[in-house]
Structure 1
Amino acid sequence: MQKIKIGLKLMFVLAFLQVEAQHSTTKVDVVVYGGTPAAITAALQVKQAGKSVLLLSPDQHLGGLSSGGLGYTDTGNKAVIGGLAKKFYQDVYNHYSRESSWNWQSRASFGNRGQGTVAMDSAHRTMWIFEPHVAEDIFDSWVRDHQIDVVRGAYLDRQESAIVKEGTTIKTIKTVDGKIYEAKIFIDATYEGDLMALAKVSYTIGREANHTYEEQWNGVQTGVFQHRHHFIAQISPYKREGDPSSGLVYGVSAQDPGQYGEADQKLQAYCFRMCLTNDARNRKPFAKPIAYDPQYYVLLQRLFRAGWDEAFQKFDLVPNHKTDANNHGPFSTDFIGMNYNYPEASYAERKSIIEAHRRYQQGLYYFMANDPSVPTAIRTKMAEWGLAKDEFEDNDNWPWQLYIREARRMLGHYVTTEHNILGKRKVEDPIGMGSYTLDSHNTQRYVTKEGFVQNEGDIGVHVPAPYAISYGSIIPRSDECSNLLVPVCLSSSHIAFGSIRMEPVFMVLGQSAGAAAVLALDNDGGVQHVDYGMLKKQLLESGQVLEKK
């Protein structure tokens, strides 16, 4: 009996300690929420300044899209990528300068292909094209070498009670495992903006009307075709071609697309950026996915029949016989119209949306490699490709990160618009620069008045010169939150975000957010009160580029 009592007491003590551990509070100067490249540069900047920082990553693998398949970097003008972002690409260069890094092909056989310029720039010792695992290894080395504390798999509890605010100041946040984190400054560096939303900072989702900011390329863009990502051939959207009574094929909306230039809450399409290989030694053939339905790909079948032959246009090569394969054409890896609920969805609902995207894309590859309706030449070539066995090894060789091209966008102290991007409006407080095209992927697939299928939302407008991004675009309005920085879901219009939303720019803005956090800590803690002169000095000293010389 005595042993039973002692055993029960021990059980109660252990249970109490477990509850206490779940509700213990970790205190640091800065909490960075996210596992993206921006989160890592923000945390590193804070750490290098001698402040305590904690990286709360909902992801098990650090690096977001950069380690999740996007290895053919979208850069624009590389001269405006500085600081830690440039260091990342220098670390990539150093990796591929070693012969041991070329395990599936020789360095000489790769050549020096790049996007807009050479891939391996010996003059600046940068390389812009890389395999996913290389990016992850670099980010892991950064946090390890600088002894940055990282909690992986740390999902923010998104219930209202999970955040404590005093006035406009966030005091603590809680993760779904019950752990509490206290900081003086918080940085939301996620693709979704969950912490920003929990803090009740104003934000928007979807496209503004053109008249909202007097823009040209925002809102519904019916009749605008700039990237060849639309249907040039007249393709029937109906199950029985030309017969509206037979119903629409999968993926075509019956809704009117809306009037040109008007607002909606639709999102540009998501996809996985795929690391494929045609090296038989490292290739895993495309498997037939669960719940595979070839009817999902009827439009592609009709496209092939109409003579479309650009299926492999965006199989961009990265080292070791691998690709960063992206969407291209009117019907490709973008799962158009299937992501609208993602930003506000629960974690379970997001998981379902992500899995639907995975099944669609797996099915697409399987269809192209195996379906007899696909032209023989395309089937034969597609069968030469497969998943790279040495990438994403704990996820059946499939990327961990869905390409969240756009989710929430903050309505902050300063809203960046296309006027900034196109050089028509300057800012007085730059914290980094962008230069990429005004870019949006398709948002919806609908039936035209003539009875054919068409896509809408694809935009690609040339940017004449690099542009500065305002500090005001990463801080909330002062009456909403005084100790939060948002370098990814920043304050911009939909179409301006289409240029900003490149991983090098996110890294730049993450580092700038980290620098601003340090200055706020050294003053009154308010991010809106950071002295810009001091911030500019710090950014220039850390290698950031704030103006094009």
Structure 2
Amino acid sequence: MRQIFRSILLTVGVLAVSACSSNEGSQDTQSADVIIYGGTSAAVTAAVEVAQAGKSVLVVSPDVHLGGLSSGGLGYTDTGNKSVIGGLAREFYHRVYMHYQDEGAWQWQKREDYGNRGQGTPAMDGTERTMWIFEPHVAEKVFEDFIQENKIEVLRDEWLDREKGVEMKDGKIVSITTLSGKKFEGKMFIDATYEGDLMAAAGVSYHVGREANSVYGETWNGVQPEVFQHGHHFKKNISPYVTPGDPASGLLAYVSDEKIAEKGAGDAKIQAYCFRMCLSANPDNRILFAKPEGYDSTKYELLARIYAAGWDETFQKYDPIPNKKTDTNNHGPFSTDFIGQNYDYPEASYERRKEIIQEHEQYQKGLMYFLANDSRVPADVHEEMQKWGLPKDEFKDNGGWPHQIYVREARRMIGEEVMTEGHTLGSIPVENSVGMGSYSLDSHNAQRYIKEDGYVQNEGDIGVHPKQPYSISYQSIIPKRAECQNLLVPVCLSSSHIAFGSIRMEPVFMILGQSAAAAAVLAIDDQVVVQDLPYAKLEEKLLKGQQRLVYAKE
């Protein structure tokens, strides 16, 4: 990601130098039936669906590496109920399974020593011939195989001109133009980014932040003080001040002095981001944690105080993936989630997003160095941390660091229908299903504040489990008719904050990418806008594509 943003700056510089030659009206223009903007897992499955339907497709990707979080470190898949994962998503996990059937895939570990533990399911499911846990480079290869086998053209490192790069006519997108000056014309467009940049640039309504519970009649949306459903909170009284107990001494790093709102109130805050680090414990495949430039140990004083209070859960989310590696996720009151430091990311300029990403990288690398070296960290944690490092054989062009930051939530469309807590928990029926979700309504912390008693606390950690899998409405992946009639949005879909906490899982994004593409193809064939596509036709096509649309109890 860092390298991609460097290329943006170079591109902008080239455009400035060549402005005189480009004003002649000549422009590099390409056309296809469907234009997909994004490089996520949803972008890949959407492209495959279009190509296999016999339509032309172009993937215009700001990313160089395809797959988003699925190839960016999130290898310990948030499956939920795996029985509702079908279509190209299931094909992805089948191909991962086939990869690990080859003994040559086990370079650093014997298969029988792996352990086969997944998230609520065995990592390797021999009956279903699927594997849900994998190394980043394996996922990226599967995505690249999808692209090559279907002869899909991908234009990488192409960034939408968000100011003037979307041409609209009669309620439809005619073309999009990137910062490099390339223009892409299509009949249908799919925004498969985590940020929803094409959707926003096309003038489609969206929301950023947490809606008040009163907006959609919800319980778990909005501000949720003193609600702790994953344990990522301060369990003992910890002072947030430089001199403990003395407000006059100033606040420690990453604590807000903003007074917390009342329970259920809406705000513009979003759940925290992090990098899903892949770590290696193999001395022959390990890059030790180095002191990052600008490192300041005082930034981690809160963590030191947590250790001093007896906290001992450091390694509980070092989830094992093959070859003695991990998918390392946030865990505890002060961990890899950079709480409160991402609020402006969804709407930020590319340059500001680059800064936010670098700030997150700096914070997280500093955290790893602190854990491995600072004298305030318990000796047993030091000893264990010094066994770990970044893997030499992952993200080779980025020093073992993931290309993709975990954008857990950014913009969310306000479309023809909004998926809410009621839809996910079963109190509101869903019609016109284009896929299913099943994971818990999962929100990470959104703020770190000072309680009335003067101690620090986190807020926003929610984990409510649906009673059973639920369907996701076609109307939630299309804009309102009055706003855009040839755009589908499978990632930043129309959803409340808390419902999105369940929908936002990578298998679901793959499912919705495929379904969005199927709808785009049918709309082209029927010469209708996406809002007028007969659902019966879409349902038939999705079922033929092995999608699973309605839950059948096992």
TM over 0.5: yes
The separation in 2 between residues aligned to 1:390 and 1:473, in whole angstroms, is: 39
Which residue of 63, 72, 80 maps to 1:76?
Answer: 80
How large is the RMSD of aligned CA atoms in angstroms?
Answer: 1.3
Alignment of structure 1 residues 443-482 onto 2, 5 Å: 443-482=446-485
Paired amino acid for 1:538? K
Residue 372 in structure 1 maps to residue 375 in structure 2: yes
Structural mapping, 1:55-204, within 5 Å:
55-159=59-163, 161-204=164-207
Matching residue within 337, 340, 343 for 1:340:
343
Q: Secondary structure at the match of 1:482?
A: coil
Q: Is the 8 A contact 1:317 1:323 kept in 2?
A: yes
Residues 185 and 525 of structure 1 are in contact (CA less than 8 Å); yes or no, is this contact kept in structure 2?
no
The alpha carbon displacement at 1:427 in A equals 1.4
User: For this pair of structures, how many residues does the alignment match?
Assistant: 535
Tell me whether 1:48 sits opposite 2:39 in the alignment. no
- Which residue of structure 2 aligns with residue 313 of structure 1? 316
Q: 1:23 aligns with which of 24, 27, 31?
A: 27
1:136 to partner: Cα distance: 0.3
| Amino acid paired to 2:465 | H
The verdict on how the C-alpha distance between 1:21 and 1:28 changes in structure 2, with shifts beyond 3 A counting, is: farther
- Helix, strand or coil: the match of 1:446? strand
- Relative distance call for 1:22 and 1:498 in structure 2 (3 A) is farther
**Mapped partners of 2:46, 2:26: distance in 1:** 27
CA displacement at 1:35 relative to structure 2: 0.3
Deviations for 1:36-69, whole angstroms, at most 9, x for unmatched residues? 0001001110010000000011000001000000
In structure 1, which of residues 500, 505, 514 is the aligned counterpart of residue 503 of structure 2? Answer: 500
Structure 1 stretches of 4+ moved >3 Å: 14-22
Distance change >3 Å, CA 218–CA 50, structure 1 → 2: same
AA at the equivalent of 2:307: F
Counterpart amino acid of residue 551 in structure 2: K
The structure with more radius of gyration: 1
**Contact between 1:65 and 1:403, CA under 8 Å: does it hold in 2?**
yes
Q: Distance in 1 between matches of 2:283 and 2:429?
A: 52
- Match in the other structure for 1:241: 244
Identity %: 61
For 1:292 and 1:17, how far apart are their aligned partners in 2? 45
Deviation at 1:396, TM superposition (A): 1.2
1:156 maps to a residue whose letter is: L
How far the C-alpha of 1:481 sits from its partner, in A, is: 0.2
Tell me the secondary structure at the aligned position of residue 212 of structure 1: helix
Equivalences for residues 224-263 of structure 1 within 5 A: 224-263=227-266
CA, structure 1 residues 288+32, in 2 after alignment: closer, same or farther (shift >3 Å)? same
* Structure 1 residue 548, shift from structure 2 partner: 1.4
Q: Indicate yes or no: 2:41 matched with 1:37.
A: yes
Partner of 2:273: 270
1:298 aligns with 2:298: no
Q: Partner amino acid for 1:503? A: E
- Give 5+ residue unaligned stretches, structure 2: 1-17
Change (3 A) 1:212 1:383: same
CA contact (8 A) 1:22 1:178 kept: no
- Runs of 5+ unmatched residues, structure 1: 1-13
- Structure 1 residue 418 and structure 2 residue 417: aligned? no
- Distance in structure 2 (CA, Å) of the matches to 1:226 and 1:173: 43
**Counterparts of 1:164 and 1:399, CA distance in 2:** 34
In 1, distance between residues paired with 2:528 and 2:376? Answer: 63
Deviation at 1:295, TM superposition (A): 1.1
Task: Tell me, in whole angstroms, the C-alpha distance in 2 between the residues paired with 1:423 and 1:346.
Answer: 38
Q: Deviations over 1:344-398 (max 9, x none)?
A: 1000000000000000000000000000111111011111100001000101110
Give the superposition deviation at 1:162.
1.6
Counterpart in the other structure of 1:392:
395
**Aligned twin of 1:288:** 291
| Aligned-partner residue type, residue 100 of structure 1 | G
TM-score by length of 1: 0.96
- Residues 525, 182 of structure 1: alpha-carbon distance in 2 compared, 3 angstrom cutoff: farther
2:533, 2:181 → 1: CA distance? 33
| Distance in structure 2 (CA, Å) of the matches to 1:17 and 1:299 | 55
Per-residue deviation, 1:524: 2.2
User: How many angstroms apart in 2 are the aligned matches of 1:77 and 1:242?
Assistant: 46
In 1: Cα distance, 2:403 partner to 2:518 partner: 29
| Partner AA of 1:94 in structure 2 | M
Please say if residues 229 and 328 of structure 1, whose CA atoms lie closer than 8 Å, have aligned partners that are also in contact.
yes
Scaled by the length of structure 2, the TM-score of the pair is 0.95
**Counterpart of 2:209?**
206
Cα displacement (A) at 1:437: 0.3
Q: Secondary structure at the match of 1:357?
A: helix
